[in-house]
């Protein structure tokens, strides 16, 4: 097999892994939104078994031992499906690392990112375990979400073929704006994760106002306490209403800022683009932004249906992928050794 074919297979595998990572993120959102995070209160198994179906003759004993959290087969199944898909993703990431070593003589072969992904996915596994053992602590669950988004972004970066060209001065300015936009998207995704893990999504039932007010009663001091000690069961949330409203409203205000900056970055990239791939990346990012805004508003107006909540999480992941694509096509030739083949 020639070197170029090896690299082609590497990128195809990275693309498959990126798709699987997106599935993991979406299924993880489904698990969180269906309150299935503690469907299996141990890790990595489920009540000591590999599949909840094996527990049919133990349900009464489980319920007697845990009357505060009776066994729910569907929740347990949701959680284990998430774990098994994530485990399959881990195997693909190991394969990418091995492929990068076998194809190391190809100057276009990414060499660093495949090995960065290995500790990243190990950390993700640990965060998944701590999510269960620390009883859905919001900081851990939010970090678990960010870890999934990071894994997805790195895999998608690996799957894309850079353009290898010098950027015009106007494109360099667009790149700086796109980096700022990407940073804001990460902050906004973090706020979204904090909103979900603190059960604050339904704290505001109207839009664009919140509780019929442009500035409702809020408790920011209590809303963003990152660590509240051990042994607290966070299922259902522990914050009072003003703190949850503060979290929701912070996420909403962040959305306004992100929208303005991403619109500026997308329009600038489309207008200043010197190549068709960059122009298409800008259009794709603007489309992802519009879709996410539409989902977010309808999520409130329609009373938080489960499928729309899951779609909102998927939309955030797609928006991140669109930003990664835009930045990938804004890597100049002069920085290719740092951001191109060696990565």
Active site includes 68? no
Nearest Cα to 127, choosing from 157, 188, 86, 93? 86
Burial 276-295 (b: 16+ CB within 10 A, else e): ebbbebbebbbebbebbbeb
- Greatest extent of the chain over all pairs of C-alpha atoms, in Å: 69
* Tokens of residue 315, six digits: 């939309």
Counting Cα atoms < 13 Å in the Cβ hemisphere of 164 gives 6
Nearest Cα to 156, choosing from 31, 319, 312? 319
Instruction: Determine which one of 79, 171, 235, 335 is catalytic.
Output: 79
Distance CA 78, CA 334 (A): 47
Nearest Cα to 291, choosing from 271, 262, 257, 268? 262
Active-site residues, by number, are: 79
């Amino acid at each position: 097999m020639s070197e170029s074919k090896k690299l082609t297979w590497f990128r195809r595998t990275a693309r498959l892994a990126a798709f699987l990572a997106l599935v993991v993120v979406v299924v993880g959102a489904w698990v969180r939104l269906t309150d299935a995070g503690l469907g299996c209160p141990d890790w990595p198994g489920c009540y000591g078994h590999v599949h909840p179906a094996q527990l049919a003759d133990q349900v009464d004993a489980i319920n007697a031992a845990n009357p505060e959290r009776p066994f729910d087969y569907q929740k347990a199944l949701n959680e284990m499906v998430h774990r098994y898909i994530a485990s399959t993703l881990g195997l693909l990431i190991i394969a990418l690392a091995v492929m990068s070593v076998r194809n190391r003589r190809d100057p276009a072969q990414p060499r660093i990112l495949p090995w960065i992904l290995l500790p990243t996915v190990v950390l993700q596994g640990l965060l998944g375990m701590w999510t269960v053992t620390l009883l859905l602590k919001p900081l851990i669950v939010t970090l678990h979400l960010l870890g999934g988004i990071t894994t997805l972004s790195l895999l998608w970066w690996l799957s894309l073929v850079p353009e290898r060209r010098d950027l015009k001065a106007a494109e360099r300015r667009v790149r700086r704006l796109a980096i700022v936009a990407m940073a804001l998207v990460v902050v906004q995704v973090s706020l979204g994760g904090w909103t979900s893990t603190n059960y604050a999504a339904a704290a505001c039932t109207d839009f664009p106002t919140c509780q019929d007010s442009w500035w409702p009663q809020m408790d920011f001091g209590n809303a963003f306490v990152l660590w509240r000690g051990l042994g607290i069961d966070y299922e259902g949330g522990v914050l009072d209403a003003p703190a949850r409203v503060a979290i929701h409203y912070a996420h909403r205000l962040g959305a306004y800022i992100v929208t303005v900056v991403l619109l500026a970055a997308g329009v600038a990239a489309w207008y200043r683009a010197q190549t068709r791939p960059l122009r298409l990346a800008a259009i794709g990012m603007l489309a992802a932004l519009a879709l996410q805004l539409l989902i977010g508003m309808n999520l409130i107006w329609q009373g938080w249906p489960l499928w729309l909540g899951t779609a909102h999480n998927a939309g955030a992941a797609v928006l991140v992928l669109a930003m990664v694509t835009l930045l990938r096509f804004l890597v100049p030739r002069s920085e290719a050794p740092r951001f191109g083949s060696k990565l």
